[in-house]
Amino acid sequence: MKKRPQGLPPAARSAQGGRRRKIESELQRVLAELIAREVKDPRVGNVTITGVSLAADMSAARIFYAPFASTHPQAQVQSGLSRAAGFLRGEVGRRLGLRHAPRLDFVFDDTAERAARLTSLIDRAVAGDHKDHS
């Protein structure tokens, strides 16, 4: 008995991935605009959307953000974004013409902080090395 292949054929899978990447980039653009202009919650303030990762079935999206010159702690910014998620989901669906807008899960992006910490560690190691060789 011949086994039927599972899932989509390779050509359809790559087309699906291309569509997902396009939607991710449009989601990032629209969310950045909406958060800057439409979200009135003072906890959110200036937020940079650093990336979007859409689930394969497009039912959920992880939105990576970094507060920019925020006077509020990261936890409050997270709370403000989570509270605005329903409004943002509806607007994203309308603006992108999606029949089913993905659920938006906001995730703090600490890449810049980690990079600064690593740079500091490297600088200290190099300074210590120069000191030892002098």
Q: What would the pLDDT profile of 64-79 be if each residue is shown by its tens digit?
A: 999 887 778 888 999 9
CA contacts within 13 A on the Cβ side of 38: 16
Name which CATH class applies to 11-133.
alpha beta
Q: What residue spans define the domains of the chain?
A: 11-133
Measured in degrees and rounded to the nearest 5, phi and psi for residue 64 equal -90, 130
**pLDDT of 116:** 79
Q: How far apart are CA 19 and CA 97, in angstroms?
A: 14
Question: Can you tell me the mean pLDDT for 19-37?
Answer: 94
Of 40-49, 101-110, 120-129, the one with minimum mean pLDDT is: 120-129
> Minimal CA–CA distance to 48: which of 58, 33, 60, 26?
33
For residue 119, the tally of other CB atoms under 10 A from its CB is: 10
pTM: 0.74
* pLDDT reading at 134 higher than 80: no
